[in-house]
Amino acid sequence: MKTITQSMVTETIKKRATHTHKGSFGRLLVIGGNAQFGGAIILTSSAAVYSGTGLVTTATHSTNFASLHARLPETMVIDFQNDTELKKLIKTVDGIVIGPGLGEDKLALQVVQAVFQSIQSTQHLIIDGSAIDLVAAHHLSLPDAKIVFTPHEMEWQRLSGIPIAEQTETKNRKAQQKLQATVVLKKYHTEIYTNDTVYQLKLGGPEMATGGMGDTLAGMIGGFVVQFSDHEIQAILSATYLHSYIADELGKTQYVTLPHQIINQIPQAMAKFSKRE
Annotated binding-site positions for AMP: 186-190, 214
Residues that bind ligand ADP (CB under 6 A): 129, 152, 186-188, 190, 204-206, 208-209, 211-215, 217
Contacts with ligand NAX by CB under 6 A: the residue count is: 18
Residue 69, helix vs strand vs coil: helix
Question: Is the CB of 38 or the CB of 212 nearer to ligand ADP?
Answer: 212
77 lines the binding site for ligand NAX (CB under 6 A): no
Between the CA atoms of 154, 155, 158 and 162, what dihedral angle is there, to the nearest 10 degrees? -60
Shortest Å, Cβ 244 to ligand ADP: 6
Half-sphere exposure at residue 91, Cβ-oriented, CA atoms within 13 angstroms = 5
Give dist(CA 85, CA 134) in Å, integer: 22
Tell me which of 102, 226, 262, 266 binds ligand NAX, using CB under 6 A: 102
Shortest Å, Cβ 9 to ligand ADP: 16
The side-by-side arrangement of strands in the sheet containing 27-31 is: 2-3, 198-200, 191-193, 182-185, 146-149, 124-127, 95-98, 27-31, 55-60, 76-79
Give dist(CA 112, CA 137) in Å, integer: 13
Choose the one of Mg ion, ligand ADP, ligand NAX, none that binds residue 204, judging by a C-beta under 5 to 8 angstroms depending on kind: ligand ADP
Question: Is the CB of 1 or the CB of 117 nearer to ligand ADP?
Answer: 1
Give dist(CA 49, CA 220) in Å, integer: 8
The total of other beta-carbon atoms located within 10 Å of residue 157's CB is 17
Q: Computed from CA positions of residues 140, 126, 211, 173, in that sequence, does the dihedral angle turn out positive or negative?
A: positive
Give dist(CA 277, CA 269) in Å, integer: 15
Shortest Å, Cβ 215 to ligand NAX: 5
191 lines the binding site for ligand NAX (CB under 6 A): no
154 lines the binding site for ligand NAX (CB under 6 A): yes
Extract the annotated binding site.
40, 101, 152, 186-190, 214-215
Contacts with Mg ion by CB under 5 A: the residue count is: 2
Choose the one of Mg ion, ligand ADP, ligand NAX, none that binds residue 217, judging by a C-beta under 5 to 8 angstroms depending on kind: ligand ADP
Choose the one of ligand NAX, ligand ADP, Mg ion, none that binds residue 102, judging by a C-beta under 5 to 8 angstroms depending on kind: ligand NAX
* Overall size of the chain counted in residues: 277
Judged by the rule CB under 6 A, the positions of this chain that interact with ligand NAX are 37, 39-40, 99-102, 129-130, 152-155, 187, 211-212, 214-215
